[in-house]
Amino acid sequence: MDIHHILTQLPHRYPFLMVDRVLELHAGESIIAVKNVTINEPYFTGHFPQRPVMPGVLLLEAMAQAGGLLAFETEGQAPEGNLIFYLVGFDKARFKRPVEPGDQVRLEVRILRRKRGIWVFEGCATVDGQAAAEAEIMCTMRDLSS
């Protein structure tokens, strides 16, 4: 899935779109996507000027966005009209290594379970085969018109 297709599936736009490409997607199971980290990211001017590091919360957001892509593909629908996918929580979040400009973050997310409209994903963000962050991510799909 290229960036043009991703833009039809996620409501996020620059500077908050955190998925650049989907490498693999198995509906109902898992997704592997990438985020290319460049020095032009707006958060690097303040986090940290002397040694730019991608904020950990944005790594979690990137995994959640990949989970959103997986959920919409699993449900066979796109976020049209008032349908949106909300992040509702994280558990077991751990940060293992800093992510810096020039890194390519590999986002691996799999569905753990779905119950009463809550999706639970297991996510791992890696750089060059090394874990950068991992977490359980909880999201829900909502129709804003109801």
Q: Which active-site residues does the annotation give?
A: 47
Residue 56, both tokens = 């950990």
Angle formed at CA 56 by CA 141 and CA 119, multiple of 5 degrees: 20
Contacts of 110 (CB under 8 A, 6+ apart): 29, 30, 31, 121, 122
